[in-house]
Amino acid sequence: MFEFSDEQKMAQTMLRQWCEKELAPSVAKMEKGEILPYDLMRKLGRTFGLDEMARGAFARLEAREARGEAAGLKSKEDEEDDGGPGGFARDPAISAIVGMELSRVCPGFTLAFGATLGLAGGAIMAKGTFAQKKRYALPILTLEKIGAWSMTEPNAGSDAFGGMRTVARRDGDGYVLNGQKTFITNAPFADVFVVYAKIVDDANPDPRTRPIHAFLLEKGHPGLSVSKPMDKMGMHSSPTGEVFLADVRIGREHLLGEKEKDPSKEGARDVFHGERTGMAPMCLGIVDRCLEDSLKYAKERTAWGRPIAEYQLMQDKLARMYMHRENIKNLLFKQLWMAKNGKRQSMAEASACKLYCARSTTEVALEAVQIMGGNGYMREYHVEMLMRDAKLLQIGGGTDEIQIVTIARALLA
């Protein structure tokens, strides 16, 4: 059985206090786009020493690099430094607590935070050369720079690998990139872009089956441009945009890992896996907050002279919310137990977890609005935002249907 340790519980209390004091007062402005989430992220990083942790991890990495140690000789600490973006990811339970606590208050903020640190930073840390980690990932992990992980295209979302049309043509020792990405979190304001493209290979004329590679670009690179933030249903605190690549000339040092023989499909799959498992804490945060606010409201609001909490139809909703919260918590704790014991969920397990968590979170958030009636529909009540934000969890990181396809494929294999 998995439980948070006393130290982890203490971190949770501190994070909750930080979120109430620093994050909550800024949510209305972030949601309206009047302020961006990035300065607050930096404040969070400084408060909890994220930047120092990342620098420490890099100093160890650099020392190891200077010693020229073989990969097989890594210490456990080294493995942790390699495997995740320094600070939070060193302890998956702390990572989960961060996701939960931020999402109780503002899931959009969590999305922007997770996309830069986990998706962009994580992809570079997992597959980059040391020089690439130092140049592109370190400033992301210290939150000096913001990253965007750019896979989806206008005609390649669920069918991300097969449908991808962004190309990298060989040009001397480098490449020329052309294409377009869409729905990319942080893109309008990002400094570093992890961009996936297919290397044009005359020996393989079928664009569907060409290998996929990741490339690293920085804001201001000639030919790279981004759109304004897109107008969305929810997750307003997380800017989303398009990325345009028009004859972007780059040297080989921009190819993630710098090895053409090491295509990035597996690396991208790892990121998908991480996105799927990483959804549970966000869901738990949203569900927990919906239940808490709904309980309070149902006890205070009266109709026909009685608190609505006394009506069985309301109790049914509250009980179902509690049931989902317990189930999501159990799924998350199983994940954390597995991580602690060096086990990895299969893709089907990760998909089943994401499917259940995302669907039940949307249901819970909708029911929270219902319990609050007209008030629930008003911006002033927090559940209205949580409901719109929850819907994204059934689409981003692989839709519900794609999770079902993945599970069915594993069952029928």
Ligand X SMILES: Cc1cc2nc3c(=O)[nH]c(=O)nc-3n(C[C@H](O)[C@H](O)[C@H](O)COP(=O)(O)OP(=O)(O)OC[C@H]3O[C@@H](n4cnc5c(N)ncnc54)[C@H](O)[C@@H]3O)c2cc1C
**Is 158 a residue that touches ligand X (CB under 6 A)?**
yes
Beta carbon of residue 25, minimum distance to ligand X (angstroms, whole number) = 24
Q: Which stretch binds ligand X (CB under 6 A): 13-21, 74-82, 177-185, 208-216?
A: 177-185
**Which run of H or E residues covers position 41?**
helix 38-47
Q: Are 213 and 263 in contact (CB under 8 A)?
A: yes
CA quadruple 165, 168, 170, 171: dihedral, nearest 10: 120
Between 12 and 116, whose beta carbon lies closer to ligand X?
A: 116
CB of 120 to ligand X, least distance (A): 9
- Give min distance, CB of 395 to ligand X, in A: 5
Q: Which is nearer to ligand X, 44 or 119 (CB)?
A: 119
Choose between 196 and 333: whose C-beta lies nearer to ligand X.
Answer: 196
- Say if strands 192-199 and 147-150 run parallel, antiparallel, or are unpaired: parallel
Listed ranges 20-28, 121-129, 284-292, 388-396: which one lies at the site for ligand X (CB under 6 A): 388-396
Cβ atoms 237, 30 nearer than 8 A: yes
Number of residues forming the site for ligand X (CB under 6 A): 22
- Toward ligand X, which CB reaches closer, 150 or 345? 150
- According to the binding rule CB under 6 A, does residue 200 interact with ligand X? no
User: 358 and 324 in contact (C-beta within 8 Å)?
Assistant: no
Q: Does 396 bind ligand X (CB under 6 A)?
A: yes
Q: Binder to ligand X among 3, 401, 408, 409 (CB under 6 A)?
A: 401
Residue 226: partners with Cβ closer than 8 Å, 6 or more residues away: 187, 188, 190, 241, 242, 243, 244
Gyration radius of the chain over CA positions: 22
Query: Is 392 a residue that touches ligand X (CB under 6 A)?
Result: yes
Give the Cα separation of 301 and 368 in Å (integer): 13
**Coarse DSSP helix, strand, coil percentages of the chain, rounded to the nearest 5 percent:** 60, 15, 25
Q: Tell me the residue type at 199.
A: I
Site for ligand X in 357-376 (CB under 6 A): none
Instruction: Select 168 or 392, whichever has its Cβ closest to ligand X.
Output: 392
Question: Rule CB under 6 A: which of 228-247 touch ligand X?
Answer: 232, 235, 240
Residue 298 to residue 295: CA distance in whole angstroms: 5
402 lies in the binding site for ligand X (CB under 6 A): yes
Q: Is 152 in the site for ligand X (CB under 6 A)?
A: yes
Whole-angstrom distance, CA of residue 336 vs CA of residue 343: 10
- Report the C-alpha gap between 339 and 348 in whole angstroms: 16
Q: How far is the CB of 264 from ligand X (least distance, A)?
A: 13
Choosing from 18, 58, 109, 183, the residue that interacts with ligand X (CB under 6 A) is: 183
Residues designated catalytic: 275
- The gap from C-alpha 65 to its chain's centroid, in whole angstroms, comes to 29
| In the complex, minimum distance from the CB of residue 27 to ligand X, in angstroms, rounded to a whole number | 17
Residue 124 in contact with ligand X, rule: CB under 6 A: no
Instruction: Enumerate residues 103-122 that contact ligand X by CB under 6 A.
Output: 115
Q: Choose the binding region for ligand X from 180-188, 205-213, 216-224, 348-356 (rule: CB under 6 A).
A: 180-188
* Closest C-alpha to 137, from 146, 352, 268, 19: 146
Q: Which of 151, 248, 331, 339: binder of ligand X (CB under 6 A)?
A: 151
Q: Which amino acid is present at 176?
A: V
Closest separation between CB of residue 219 and ligand X, Å? Answer: 16
Quick one: angle between helices 38-47 and 50-67, nearest 10?
Answer: 70
Q: Minimum Å distance from CB 146 to ligand X? A: 12
- Cα dihedral 23→25→26→28 (10° resolution): 120
Chain residues in the site for ligand X (CB under 6 A): 115, 149-152, 157-158, 183-185, 232, 235, 240, 392, 395-399, 401-402, 405
